[in-house]
């Protein structure tokens, strides 16, 4: 309505900047927009349901499978990026330390030092072709998304990508990452900690390419991977976090509120983490208090996941009050004690905690959740901090308009393609170009290089497929539990299949609007 009212004024202002033939051309273009394009554009606005841009909230919990919390008696947790959420400053520190190791330990050129950390370059869930040195996004059907293949810090033209992969965007299953994300030729980066690793890989590749230095991409991948590993093995990350807990740990008061709520409701809690006890103790004391162990019935550190879930050999070891190993045989897992290593089979035998009455929270889909869901029937919950940014983008009017217009344009192309006359074919090509521009615009709303971690152009990403397969529910952080009663049932939204009719009312009555935000959250955020 505003555009219709002010169109004459807007046109006069724009025409003042032109003269002669340019003024005539501009006047024609503006009139064409108002007479032809604007009615269709207005129709797209009318298609967007009322309130569609306000449906999503980053504090909601989303369901892939029906979960009734009333049936859950035992809650389990990972530590890093689950109980403890870290600030982006930690990624910068990991990147800089690993970059230093590349130069000092692996004798890489000092020119790499000039590359500072790029905070928003990579996103979680990307694949890396080890032999070709390419970072890319792959969809649920093993197809590379055009425009998201990077060699170093620069995108590869689609034509070159097709040539490198034999005329197709498809990555064969035998080359793709295996069950735990590690294949012979392609690795998937599922861990949030892997974001600085992907950035360092891109930077190192970029240095050799721009300086025309011959190198082996396989050696580079292994060296970067080992340099990142050294940051963790040498305890640098633990040292940084412990020295400045306020800087690196986020939302500690929310973690305390979640644990208090669960214990007050009579739930049993346990912790299984790969981190050492001294590190966990400092972080939990900072977030929850010195008596944080009173919340947990079982605490297991340095568990060596995912092998903890598949290996039935390693026994549990108890740690004394000083953190030293004890030698007695573990016949029970007792509250107030700290255990190291062990395996899930002994854990199940000693606790009797089995099946859908157990809900385990973790951030890594493979190491934390996959085996528990597929082999043991536990309920699983994925912590996906990226949801906060993604839901904010999806909730904007700009995204809703782009997506609605994109879908409308795709529908028009689907019908027009049957007309073979030259004029129709010319219009089809123009629409095809516009559709591609809309796709790029929509992608750039999330991340200019790789777009959303959940979608390619129209398909779910490989990451999204694994998220749906290995997690019953997923959320931004543990604090989302504070919005729900512990007898609440999460119902997955019935999304239409390709051969089913999409119903706006079905979308409005279910899904995102189901969140019953509770008053208990108001004093925390």
* Residue finishing a domain among 368, 386, 404: 386
176 an active-site residue? no
Which pLDDT score, from 0 to 100, does residue 513 have?
Answer: 43
How many Cα atoms occupy the beta-carbon half-sphere of 515 within 13 Å?
Answer: 20
Residues 92 and 237 occupy one common structural domain: yes
Total structural domains within the chain: 2
Residues 114 and 126 occupy one common structural domain: yes
Residues 229 and 94 occupy one common structural domain: yes
Compute the distance between CA of residue 344 and CA of residue 354 in angstroms, rounded to an integer. 11
Question: 128 φ, ψ to 5°?
Answer: -125, 120
Query: Which residues belong to the annotated binding site for GMP?
Result: 80
Name every residue whose Cβ is closer than 8 Å to that of residue 518 and which is 6 or more positions away in sequence.
482, 483, 484, 485
Residues 77 and 96 occupy one common structural domain: no
294 an active-site residue? no
Residue 179, domain member (yes or no): yes
Residues 77 and 195 occupy one common structural domain: no
Compute the distance between CA of residue 257 and CA of residue 483 in angstroms, rounded to an integer. 11
* Residue 104, helix vs strand vs coil: helix
Catalytic residue among 21, 46, 73, 78: 78
This prediction's pTM: 0.85
Query: What does each of the 525 residues of the chain score in pLDDT, given as a tens digit?
Result: 444 544 455 555 555 555 555 555 655 655 555 555 555 555 555 555 544 555 677 889 999 999 999 999 999 999 999 999 999 999 999 999 999 999 999 999 999 999 999 999 999 999 999 999 999 999 999 999 999 999 999 999 999 999 999 999 998 877 776 666 666 789 999 989 999 999 999 999 999 999 999 999 999 999 999 999 999 889 999 999 999 999 999 988 999 999 999 999 999 999 999 999 999 999 999 999 999 999 999 999 999 998 898 888 899 999 987 778 898 999 999 999 999 999 999 999 999 998 899 999 999 999 899 889 888 889 999 999 999 999 989 888 888 888 888 888 888 888 888 888 999 999 999 999 999 999 999 999 999 999 999 999 889 999 999 999 999 999 999 999 999 999 999 999 877 777 876 655 444 444 444 455 555 554 554
CA-closest candidate to residue 519, choices 486, 477, 483: 483
Residue 275, domain member (yes or no): yes
325 and 317 Cβ atoms separated by less than 8 Å: yes
Q: 316: which strand partners? A: 341
Residues 118 and 214 occupy one common structural domain: yes
Compute the distance between CA of residue 191 and CA of residue 195 in angstroms, rounded to an integer. 8
Name every residue whose Cβ is closer than 8 Å to that of residue 409 and which is 6 or more positions away in sequence.
431, 434, 435, 438
Query: Which residues belong to the annotated binding site?
Result: 78, 80, 363
Residue 503, domain member (yes or no): no
Question: 474 φ, ψ to 5°?
Answer: -145, 155
> Looking at residue 279, which CATH number applies to its domain?
3.40.50.1000
Cis amide bond preceding 518, omega within 30: no
Which pLDDT score, from 0 to 100, does residue 509 have?
Answer: 45
Which pLDDT score, from 0 to 100, does residue 16 have?
Answer: 57
Residue 72, domain member (yes or no): yes
Residues 340 and 324 occupy one common structural domain: yes
Residues 352 and 365 occupy one common structural domain: yes
Residues 106 and 231 occupy one common structural domain: yes
Catalytic residue among 21, 46, 80, 129: 80
CA-closest candidate to residue 303, choices 281, 277, 337, 333: 277
* Residue finishing a domain among 242, 257, 285: 242
Residues 234 and 92 occupy one common structural domain: yes
Residue 339, domain member (yes or no): yes
Query: Which residues belong to the annotated binding site for Mg(2+)?
Result: 78, 363
Compute the distance between CA of residue 363 and CA of residue 385 in angstroms, rounded to an integer. 9
Domain that holds residue 109: 88-242
Cα of 407 vs its chain's centroid, Å: 25
Residues 305 and 371 occupy one common structural domain: yes
Residue 168, domain member (yes or no): yes
Residues 236 and 313 occupy one common structural domain: no
Residue 365, domain member (yes or no): yes
Compute the distance between CA of residue 458 and CA of residue 147 in angstroms, rounded to an integer. 14
* Residue finishing a domain among 334, 353, 386: 386
* Residue 393, helix vs strand vs coil: helix
Residue 461, domain member (yes or no): no
344 and 375 Cβ atoms separated by less than 8 Å: no
Question: 33 φ, ψ to 5°?
Answer: -60, -50
Rg (CA), the chain: 26
């Amino acid at each position: 309505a505003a555009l219709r009212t002010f169109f004459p004024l807007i046109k006069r202002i724009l025409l003042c900047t032109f003269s002669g033939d340019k003024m005539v051309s501009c006047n024609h273009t503006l009139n064409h927009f108002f007479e032809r394009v604007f009615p269709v554009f207005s129709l797209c606005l009318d298609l967007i349901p009322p309130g569609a841009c306000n449906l999503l909230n980053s504090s909601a919990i989303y369901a892939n499978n029906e979960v009734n919390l009333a049936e859950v008696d035992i809650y389990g947790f990972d530590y890093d990026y689950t109980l403890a959420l870290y600030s982006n400053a930690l990624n910068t520190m990991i990147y800089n330390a690993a970059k230093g190791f590349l130069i000092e330990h692996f004798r890489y050129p000092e020119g790499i030092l000039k590359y500072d950390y790029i905070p928003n370059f990579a996103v979680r869930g990307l694949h890396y072709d080890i032999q070709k040195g390419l970072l890319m996004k792959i969809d649920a059907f093993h197809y590379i998304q055009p425009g998201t293949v990077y060699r170093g810090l620069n995108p590869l033209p689609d034509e070159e990508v097709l040539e490198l992969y034999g005329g197709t965007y498809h990555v064969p299953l035998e080359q793709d990452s295996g069950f735990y994300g590690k294949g012979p030729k392609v690795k998937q980066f599922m861990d949030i900690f892997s974001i600085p690793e992907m950035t360092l890989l891109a930077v190192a590749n970029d240095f050799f390419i721009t300086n025309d230095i011959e190198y082996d991409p396989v050696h580079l991948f292994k060296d970067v991977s080992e340099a990142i590993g050294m940051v963790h093995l040498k305890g640098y990350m633990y040292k940084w976090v412990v020295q400045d807990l306020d800087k690196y740990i986020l939302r500690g008061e929310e973690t305390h509120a979640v644990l208090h709520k669960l214990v007050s409701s009579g739930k049993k809690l346990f912790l299984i983490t790969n981190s050492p006890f001294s590190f966990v103790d400092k972080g939990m004391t900072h977030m929850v208090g010195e008596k944080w162990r009173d919340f947990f019935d079982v605490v297991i550190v340095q568990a060596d996941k995912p092998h903890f879930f598949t290996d039935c050999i390693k026994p549990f070891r108890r740690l004394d009050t000083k953190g030293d190993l004890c030698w007695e045989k573990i016949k029970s897992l007792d509250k107030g004690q700290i255990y190291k290593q062990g395996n899930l089979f002994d854990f199940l035998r000693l606790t009797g905690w089995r099946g859908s009455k157990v809900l385990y929270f973790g951030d890594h889909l493979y190491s934390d959740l996959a085996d528990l869901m597929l082999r043991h029937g536990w309920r699983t919950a994925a912590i996906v901090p990226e949801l906060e940014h993604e839901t904010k983008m999806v909730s904007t009017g700009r995204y809703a308009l782009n997506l609605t217009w994109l879908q409308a344009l795709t529908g028009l192309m689907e019908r027009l393609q049957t007309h073979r006359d030259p004029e129709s074919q010319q219009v089809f090509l123009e629409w095809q170009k516009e559709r591609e521009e809309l796709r790029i615009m929509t992608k750039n709303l999330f991340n200019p290089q790789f777009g959303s971690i959940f979608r390619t152009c129209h398909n779910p990403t490989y990451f999204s497929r694994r998220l749906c397969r290995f997690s019953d529910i997923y959320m931004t952080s543990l604090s989302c539990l504070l919005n729900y009663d512990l007898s609440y049932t999460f119902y997955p939204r019935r999304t239409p299949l390709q051969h089913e009719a999409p119903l706006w009312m079905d979308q409005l009555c279910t899904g995102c609007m189901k969140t019953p935000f509770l008053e208990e959250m108001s004093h925390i955020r």
